[in-house]
Amino acid sequence: MNNRFLKYTGRFCIILILLIGIYFVTAFCASRITVNPNPTNPKEIAIYIMTNGVHTDIVVPTVTAQIDWTKEISYQNTLAADSTYLYLAMGWGDKKFYLETPEFSDLKLSNGLRAISGLSTSAMHTTYYKNIPEDANCKKIIISKAQYLQLIDYILNSFKKDKAGHLINVKSKVHYDVGDAFYEARGSYSIFKTCNTWANGALKACGQRSCLWTIFDTGIFLKYE
């Protein structure tokens, strides 16, 4: 009985290791395949991709002729409540992970496992900025007005809305910055759809260089070196 148990346990471990290996090899290869490698479009509106080393945000102008983000993502939901901020960064992720893990030192195994299970709810993390410095972790991408409308549609469809069609602010005391707030989002985080998968999807939606599929920020930023 013990030998049989050890035999099946060993097989299970080998299969699990193989599946994990296949997952990461697939993720690596797919992230190196470029979608829209040479976009040709009028250079009309500047957006940015920004990473903290793990998570990618899409950064857009606060107000343009196409949309005034402040009408739905109110400054009043931030600690600063400062209407002079010119840029808005948005990222999608697991709601509970966002609210319970403001720093990586706060990471709990239970939160991590729940996040990758695909069974939990999600949130949009929005942050207003006065300035956006370009560096290795923040890249400017200039798109057309038509492409920006496509990006707006992608982002807005990531938010949950109330019966009146308005975005739903998450009532929480958790803030990562004086200019940030959380909103209810659609979909569930999983090993196949991460915050970086969402950001990569945003770039695909507006016809910019992007990965075939990625779970990490590295693949995205390699396209903009």
Is residue 6, in this structure, part of any structural domain at all?
A: no
pLDDT digits (tens, 9 = 90+) for 88-147: 999 999 998 899 876 655 556 565 566 566 667 999 999 999 999 999 999 999 999 999
Is residue 18, in this structure, part of any structural domain at all?
A: no
Model-level pTM greater than 0.95? no
pLDDT digits (tens, 9 = 90+) for 15-53: 889 999 999 999 999 999 999 999 999 999 999 999 999
Q: Which two tokens mark 139?
A: 């890249």
Bridge partners (DSSP) of residue 124 are: 92, 183
Is residue 2, in this structure, part of any structural domain at all?
A: no
Is residue 7, in this structure, part of any structural domain at all?
A: no
Nearest to 115 by CA among 96, 91, 100: 96
Q: Which two tokens mark 157?
A: 């469809």
88: three-class secondary structure by DSSP: strand
- Spatial distance between the Cα atoms of 80 and 55, rounded to a whole number of angstroms: 23
Nearest to 119 by CA among 96, 138, 141: 96
Phi, psi of 109 (to 5 degrees): -60, -40
Note the pLDDT of residue 79.
95
The answer to whether residue 1 scores a pLDDT higher than 60 is no
Are 85 and 180 spatial neighbours (Cβ–Cβ below 8 Å)? no
Share the mean pLDDT of the chain.
91
For the chain, how many structural domains are there in total?
Answer: 1
Helix and strand numbers (H, E) in the chain are 6, 8
Is residue 160, in this structure, part of any structural domain at all?
A: yes
Is residue 74, in this structure, part of any structural domain at all?
A: yes
Of residues 115 and 68, more confidence is placed in 68
Is residue 73, in this structure, part of any structural domain at all?
A: yes
Task: Give mean pLDDT, residues 172-192.
Answer: 94
The answer to whether residue 148 scores a pLDDT higher than 60 is yes
Note the pLDDT of residue 101.
76
Task: Give mean pLDDT, residues 211-224.
Answer: 97
Domain span at residue 116 reads 33-222
Is residue 128, in this structure, part of any structural domain at all?
A: yes
Note the pLDDT of residue 83.
92
Note the pLDDT of residue 112.
56
Note the pLDDT of residue 26.
95
